Structure 1
Amino acid sequence: MANKKRTFQSERKHTRLDFSPLVITCELVCTTADSPTAQTANTALGQYEPDRSVTPTIIRPQTTVNDPDGIYTSGINNHNLASDQHAWFVNGTPIAKVWKEGTDYTIIKDSSDDNGSLKIMRNIVPGEVATLAYQGMFNDFRTGTNYVVNGSGMALTTTDKGGNKMACSVDCEQLAYDPLKDELALYEYLVAEGIEKAGQRDKFVNGKSYERTVTITLTQGTSTITELPKGMTMRLVERGKNTALAAGTLEHPEIKSVAFPKIGFDMRFTWQQEFEVQFVNASGKVETSAGISLIRDMSYLTQHDVARGNDIVPGQQRYYNYGIFAAGDQPIQYPELYYDIQWWTQARVYDPSTKAYKYAERIERQAGASMECSVESLGIGFEKNLCWFDVSMDIEEREPAAVLTAADAGTVLTDDKGNVLIF
C-alpha cells in the first residue's frame, strides 16, 4: 500500500523521425587581412612580406549549413566540426609529413568559429606553391549522422621582389565549380518556384557558388600597387593568346567583369577554360602575367532510384512515382536543376501465339523529378499475371548554361525586368 503519491514517466518517443537533409558547404577562407596567402620576398636579403613567423596566416575551413527545418542557425557552424577529425593537406600530402607542427603550423581546435583553422607560420620560398586542402567531420546532432566536409582550391605563393621588378599574383589560380554544392543557384531556383522568399541572395554567394571573384595583386619591388601606373592596362586573354576579352559577350558569357584589381566569373557557362591576366605597358609589352583556370567538377551521382515499386491496386486510376537522388552522402532535393530526367514505362504482356511473356513498346512519360499517368495508359491487363510493367528514368547531367538568343543568334533575350535569359 502506498502512503504517498507516486509519479511516473512514459517512454520517450520522438515526435519526428525524419528531418530535411542539411546542405553543408565548406570553403577555405583567409581570415588574416594583414597576412594574406600571397607573399613577397627579397631573397637577397632574406626578407618576407608579410613575415609569417611574426604575423601568421590563418586559413579557416569555413563551414556553413542550410537547414530547411531551421534547427541549425545560418552562418558559420565550425563549432560542430569534430576537433579530433581535422585533416589538412599540402599539395595532396598530409601536412604533418611535409611541415613541422608547432614550428610551421598549428591547427586550432576549440568551440569558436575558427575551429579547424590552420595557423601558418611558415614562409614560402619564391617558386614554391603550397596548395591547401581540408577534410573534416560535421556532426548532425539531430540524427547522429556524421558528414565528411571538404575544402580546397587555396594556394600559398611567394613572388621574389628583388630590385624593381614588376610582378603579379592571383588569390586563386584554379576555380573549381560543382553545381551540386552551389547554394546560390539552388536559392535562385527556389525563389523562382515560389518556395523561398527573395532578398537573401548575398547570404549564398561564397566560394562554392557560380559567382566567383579573383583578386589580383600587382607589385613592383617590395611595394604593392593599388592603382595602375599611367599607360599600363590590365587585360584578360585566353592562355597562349594576346587578344583582350571583354565581359558579358556571347562568346565568353563566363566572364562577368574585368576591372583592376578584380575579375568576376560566372561558372555556370563553361566546362573548362584557361585564361591569363596580363599587365601591358604603353608600348604594348606584357610586363607580367598570371594564369587562371576554370573547371567544372560535378560530384558523381551515386543514387538514382525509382522510389516506388509496389503493385497497382484494384480500382486505382492514376499512377505516380518519383526519383531518389544522392551524390555520396549528400541527398539531392531538386534533381531537375542538375539533370535532364526522362521517365518511361514498359508493360510486359502475354503473347498467345508464342505462349510467352514479352515487353511491349516503351512509352515515354514526363521529364523531371516525378511522373504521373493514368493506369489505363500503362498497357497492362486486369488479371494478376497481366499487370506487370517496368518504370525507369534516363538521366543525363545538364550541359553548362548558355545565353538564350533569338533565331538570328545575335539578339540576346531578356525577361520583363531586363535580366538575360539562360538555359
Structure 2
Amino acid sequence: MESVKKRIRKDFQPLTIAVSLKIMTPNSPTSQVYNSENGEYEPDRGVTPLVILPEVIANCTDGSWNTPYANELLSEMKWYINGKEASTVASWNGKYSIDTVGSTRGAITINRNVSPGESFELHFEGVVADTRLGANIPVKTDTITLSTVDKSEDEYSLSIGDDQIIRYNPFEDALLLYDYKVANGLTTASTSARNAALNENAYERSISVSVHKGDTLLAAGYTLNLYSIGSGGVLTQLTTAKHEIIALTLTKITMDLRLIEKGDFLLVVNVGGKEKARKQFSINRVYPKFDIEPVSGVSINPGETTHYNKVMVHYNGNIVPVPAPILKMVWFTDTENLTGVQHNEGTETVITLSRTGIGNTYLDDWLDIYVEAEQKPIFKVMTDASGTEYTDKSGNVYIN
C-alpha cells in the first residue's frame, strides 16, 4: 500500500536587490555644453552616444542565488523620460536604443542632444525573475538628469569633480577599516595613516565644485546651496548641522557616506539672490556579493567541551582582513538532535558543545557549523532615549 504523498520544498530566503544607474561612457556624460557661435555640442551624442546602465545586484543570505549581477535576468524593461515611457515621447523617437543581451541588458544608448533650456529626467523600471520562489521582483532606479549649458560670455555653469552617481562600497573603504582598528586597539591612531586611507573609496567623500561664468572659473561672488531631493521632488536645504554634511564651501562638499543609503542631491548657484546654475547628483550604497565560511574543520576530541572557530570572508577574489565593520555575522550549529542553534555574533566563536546536541554514537557524533551573514546597514548617530546625541569630550558625535 502506498502512503499519502507529502511534498516538501526547499525553504529559500528572499532576494536582496540593489539597483543603481551607472554611466558607461566617461567621455559622454549626462551634461553637455552648447556653443551658440558654431552650433556645436560637446560632446555631440550623434558621434559619442551616452550609455546608462541600470546595474542590478541580487544576493541571498542562504547562498542559493548564483547570479549576483542580474541584468541578464531582466524582463519588462522600460525607460521613462520625465515620467513618460520613452517610446511615447515623440522627440526621442529613433534617438535611443535599449540593450537586450547579457550583462548590459537594460542599458540605454542615447544619441539625442539636449538643447539649452531642455531638461530630461530618466529612470528605469523592470522585473527580475526569481525562479527559486517563482516570483517576479520589480526594480526601479532613481532618476538621472540630462541637461545642457549654453556656453556664452555671461552664462554661469556648475560642475562637480565626481561621478553624477556616486557609489559607496564599504568593502573597499580603507578609512572604515582604519577607524575600526583604532577604536578596537588594533592599531595606533596616526594622521599619516588616516590620510593614506582618504581615497576615492573612503566614506569621507570630498567632491570638488567648479563654478564658471563663461570661460572664467570663479572662487567668489556667489553662494552655493545644497539640497536633498525628497518624494515628489521636494527640496530640503542641507547644512553642516546635518551629520551627512561634514563641510560645505564655495568649492568643495565633504560628505559622510556611511550615513547615506540612497539619496538624490541638488547643488544650486545663486548670484544676487537669483539662481544661475544647478547640478544634480546621487549617492547609492552598494551591496556586492561576498563569500563566507568557517575556517576550522578540525575534528572534536571526545573530552573537549568547547569548540573555537573564526570566519573567512572573500570579496572580489580577495580575503577581507577585518570584516567586522562591514558584516553582521551570527554563528549557528546543526546536529542530529538539534538544528539551527544560534550562538554568538562576531568574527570568532567559542561554542559550548553541550548546547549543540552533539552525541556520542556514529549516528549523532557530528556537528555542522555555519555563519549567517549580511552587510550592515547605514551607520547612525548614537542617541539616548530622548534623542540627545552622545559625544566624546571634544564634542564629536558617536556614529555606529
CA shift at 1:294, angstroms?
0.9
Aligned residue in 2 for 1:280:
270
Aligned residue in 2 for 1:345:
333
CA contact (8 A) 2:310 2:349 kept: yes
CA shift at 1:346, angstroms?
2.8
CA distance in 2, matches of 1:266, 1:294: 11
CA distance in 1, matches of 2:236, 2:186: 44
Q: Which of residues 281, 285, 297 in structure 2 aligns to 1:296?
A: 285
1:17-416, aligned counterparts within 5 Å?
42-44=35-37, 159-172=149-162, 173-199=164-190, 200-227=193-220, 229=221, 232-239=222-229, 240-249=233-242, 253-283=243-273, 285-301=274-290, 303-349=291-337, 360=338, 362-409=340-387, 411-416=388-393
CA distance in 1, matches of 2:369, 2:355: 13
TM-score between the two structures when normalised by the length of structure 2: 0.60
One-letter identity of the residue aligned with 1:412: E
Deviations 1:250-307 (A, max 9, x none): xxx3222222111111111111111010012334x32110112111123311x21122
CA distance in 2, matches of 1:256, 1:236: 12
One-letter identity of the residue aligned with 2:209: I
CA shift at 1:408, angstroms?
1.2
Change (3 A) 1:126 1:208: farther
CA contact (8 A) 2:334 2:341 kept: yes
CA shift at 1:163, angstroms?
3.1
CA shift at 1:372, angstroms?
0.6
Aligned residue in 2 for 1:134:
none
Change (3 A) 1:178 1:126: farther
CA distance in 2, matches of 1:282, 1:264: 25
CA shift at 1:214, angstroms?
1.2
Structure 2 residue runs without a partner (length 5+): 1-30, 43-98, 100-113, 117-146
CA contact (8 A) 2:323 2:347 kept: yes
CA distance in 2, matches of 1:187, 1:43: 50
CA contact (8 A) 1:174 1:293 kept: yes
Pairwise CA RMSD of aligned residues? Answer: 2.9
Change (3 A) 1:319 1:370: same
CA contact (8 A) 2:203 2:258 kept: yes
CA contact (8 A) 1:248 1:257 kept: no
Aligned residue in 2 for 1:421:
398
Change (3 A) 1:383 1:47: closer
The DSSP-based 3-state class of the residue aligned with 1:392 is strand
CA shift at 1:42, angstroms?
4.8
One-letter identity of the residue aligned with 1:421: Y
CA contact (8 A) 2:287 2:375 kept: no
CA distance in 1, matches of 2:321, 2:261: 24
CA shift at 1:378, angstroms?
2.6
CA distance in 2, matches of 1:270, 1:328: 23
The DSSP-based 3-state class of the residue aligned with 2:195 is helix
The DSSP-based 3-state class of the residue aligned with 1:268 is helix
CA distance in 1, matches of 2:341, 2:385: 32
% identical aligned pairs: 26
Deviations 1:194-240 (A, max 9, x none): 2222112111101110011111111112211111x2xx421101233
CA distance in 2, matches of 1:48, 1:196: 52
CA distance in 1, matches of 2:209, 2:32: 13
The DSSP-based 3-state class of the residue aligned with 2:395 is coil
CA contact (8 A) 1:163 1:221 kept: yes
Deviations 1:344-399 (A, max 9, x none): 223213xxxxxxxxxx2532211001211233333222333331222221112100
Aligned residue in 1 for 2:144:
none
CA shift at 1:335, angstroms?
1.8
CA distance in 2, matches of 1:280, 1:241: 19
CA shift at 1:46, angstroms?
8.9
CA shift at 1:310, angstroms?
3.5
CA distance in 2, matches of 1:215, 1:298: 26
Change (3 A) 1:215 1:126: farther
CA contact (8 A) 1:161 1:220 kept: no
CA distance in 2, matches of 1:345, 1:377: 9
- Equivalent residues, number: 265
CA contact (8 A) 1:177 1:298 kept: no
One-letter identity of the residue aligned with 1:406: D
Change (3 A) 1:290 1:162: same
